[in-house]
Amino acid sequence: MVKKIITASVFLLGTLISQAQTVDEMVAQAKQLEVQMKEQEAFDKDKEILKIQPTQLDALIQASEMASRIGNRQKDKTAKTNYFNQAKDYANAALKVNPNSAMANYAMSVAMGRMALISGAKDKVAASKDVKKYADLAIKLDPKFGPAYHVLGKWNYEVATLNVFERSAAKMLFGGIPEGSLTNAIANYEKCRQLDPGFILNYYELARAYKENDQEDKAVEVLKKALTLRNITYDDASIKADVKKMLDDLQ
């Protein structure tokens, strides 16, 4: 009897070790798929991982990021909303696993930011408060994490350019929101550029901020630099098309 129990225990331990190794291999595969710009495949792999190990932090974070990116490419608002809600759910699950993960807080800030951009005035203002909260936390946890500064830059840009209806909603619902400015947006984007010089979307948004701030020479300089960079994400090719269009308009 004792021998059977020992044999069963050894078998169970072996199964758990094998499964853990399999999950680790799957996580590596998912990351490699992202590097290869196969974001839908990476997202599908993350979902496979989470069926086996629902608290796998790397898979939760990547699944959130992939849902935000894939959702942003959808043409239909309902489809966008569905993906962004998934992104929020995955980020929330990641934060439950590790609330002190800079990447998990960043993933939540991105998901909330994407949702804010397709929302009406009331929901946009409500979401914007969370965008700043999670971006600030990501930076606090990892001051050298460039993309979090990009989110904060985007937050400043969007707040600085709120229309009168959105500002009225902010005042009515929350008594206003923290002041955002183009100067702060530019500083945040430049900090991101310093820390993550290959992040093409950051160059495009930085150029928009310079243009809005009547610094077109700076915008042109940034756009020209963006066109020299290597594509890293699936969206980089289309972002470069937007970069070229803005550059043509400014020259």
The contacts of residue 63 (CB under 8 Å, 6+ apart) are: 43, 46, 47, 50, 86, 90
What does CATH list as the number for 13-118? 1.25.40.10
CA separation for the pair 157, 148 (Å, rounded): 14
The pTM for the full model equals: 0.86
Q: Taking the CA atoms of the chain, what radius of gyration do you get in angstroms?
A: 21
Identify the three-state secondary structure at position 235. coil
For 192-248, write each residue's pLDDT tens digit: 999 999 999 999 999 999 999 999 999 999 999 999 999 999 999 999 999 999 999
Instruction: State the DSSP H helix or E strand holding residue 77, giving kind and residue range, or none if neither.
Output: helix 77-97
Instruction: State the DSSP H helix or E strand holding residue 3, giving kind and residue range, or none if neither.
Output: helix 2-35
Q: Are 153 and 162 in contact (CB under 8 A)?
A: no
Outline where DSSP puts E strands in 123-205: none
CA separation for the pair 105, 32 (Å, rounded): 22
Q: Are 234 and 40 in contact (CB under 8 A)?
A: no
For 2-38, write each residue's pLDDT tens digit: 444 454 454 554 444 445 569 999 999 999 999 999 9
Domain boundaries, the chain: 13-118
Residues in the chain: 251
**What is the torsion angle, in degrees rounded to the nearest 10, for the CA atoms of residue 141, residue 200, residue 206 and residue 196?**
30
